[in-house]
Amino acid sequence: MNKNIAIVGATGAVGTLVRELLVERNFPYGEIRFLASEKSAGKELEFDGRMVTVELLCPTAFDGIDIAIGSTPDDVAREFTPWAVQAGAVVVDESAAHRMLPEVPLVVPEVNPGAIAEHQGIIASPNCSTTQMVLAMKPIHDVSPIRRVVVTTYQATSGAGVQGSADLENGTRAALEEAEWEGGVFQHPIAFNVIPQIGSVQENGYTSEEMKMVLETRKIFADDAIEVCPTCVRVPVRNCHSESILLETDHPITPQQAREVFAAAPGIQVMDDPGDGIYPMPLNCDDLDDVFVGRIRRDLSCKNSLAFWCVSDNLRKGAATNAVQIAELLASSEFSKCRSSN
């Protein structure tokens, strides 16, 4: 049965890809509505061979909508979700606004699809760095429970939206031309630099982005005993987040065993022949939906732990693809708790 869809934040980095994915994946849509701020209301955007006018996000914008896919800043998500739920829509939200609320399932379809059934109108999609990490953790966790994760991220500028991408390009141009540049969304110039801070610094010394990786991982696995020690770093890469991950498990897992379970897992591709220079990188994982793993090796300092490198397109699996997959499950008969149209 077709669903009436609203894309909230349809003009942003994630919203743009959600529009493309609905067509690319043949999503069973009925009516389609694009919502954004006053800045974009009235703009015409191409969708599935026709033009659709962007409408202003307002309390009545969700009349007749079945599923609203939200890709807006947190404060905007907090404001619009009650309007959508009141109108009878189910919200699939990419922002951090609702992720840790107990009544809101936090879902990666390859990891915890069953959580969708518990929704009360809102389903959250995790932070992009969490999504690729938990997807890579899942097949290992199934073989030998994970006790501890040490992760360092190398996060692309597109993770900070349209403005983040513009900052990399404008800042790089200004640096090469030795021109003045006022700076943008990052705390420091990102061109020719790496910034070991994403989000605000908390009392415990970790950043808000790092604490998302700790808390969201535990919620997705429904296991508060999993210890996570993250360091999140912004790097001058256009798109795709990379992560150096070390997993400490109950029983030792050999690199060969890990390669086999990764290869058999949905949503994961193994690229692991470092002697021939074969491993995932932002440039060979860009615009792809899977999570890529490589450099799989034993931790020389601990027999129960495994080290590997993991790359994924933060705009696709880290955001838009994950949300559209959740919407697909909602639209399927299995989870058809939302209103249906013909």
Ligand X SMILES: NC(=O)c1ccc[n+]([C@@H]2O[C@H](COP(=O)([O-])OP(=O)(O)OC[C@H]3O[C@@H](n4cnc5c(N)ncnc54)[C@H](OP(=O)(O)O)[C@@H]3O)[C@@H](O)[C@H]2O)c1
Judged by beta carbon, residue 3 or residue 234, the one nearer ligand X is 234
Backbone angles phi and psi of 53, in degrees to 5: -85, 130
Contact status, residue 291 vs residue 267, Cβ threshold 8 Å: yes
Of all residues in the shown chain, the one whose CB is closest to ligand X is: 12
Residue with token string 């015409």: 44
Q: How far is the CB of 115 from ligand X (least distance, A)?
A: 18
Of 98, 119, 141, 241, which one is the catalytic site residue? 241
Q: Annotated catalytic, 128?
A: yes
Q: Contact at 8 Å (CB) between 186 and 160?
A: yes
Q: How far is the CB of 117 from ligand X (least distance, A)?
A: 23
Q: What's the closest the beta carbon of residue 145 comes to ligand X, in angstroms?
A: 27
Tokens 């005993």, residue located: 225
Amino acid at 85: V
CB of 16 to ligand X, least distance (A): 8
CB of 235 to ligand X, least distance (A): 14
> Interface residues with ligand X (CB under 6 A)?
9-15, 36-37, 39-40, 57, 71-74, 76, 94-95, 128, 158-159, 161-163, 314-315, 318-319
From 98, 119, 128, 232, the catalytic residue? 128
Residue closer to ligand X, measured from CB, 92 or 330: 92
Structure-token match 């954004």, residue found = 36
Alpha-carbon span 50 to 238, nearest angstrom: 29
Q: Is 119 a catalytic residue?
A: no
CB closer to ligand X out of 74 and 250: 74
Nearer to ligand X, 18 or 140 (CB): 18
Of the two residues 183 and 274, which places its CB atom closer to ligand X in the complex?
Answer: 183
Q: Indicate which residues carry an active-site annotation.
A: 128, 241
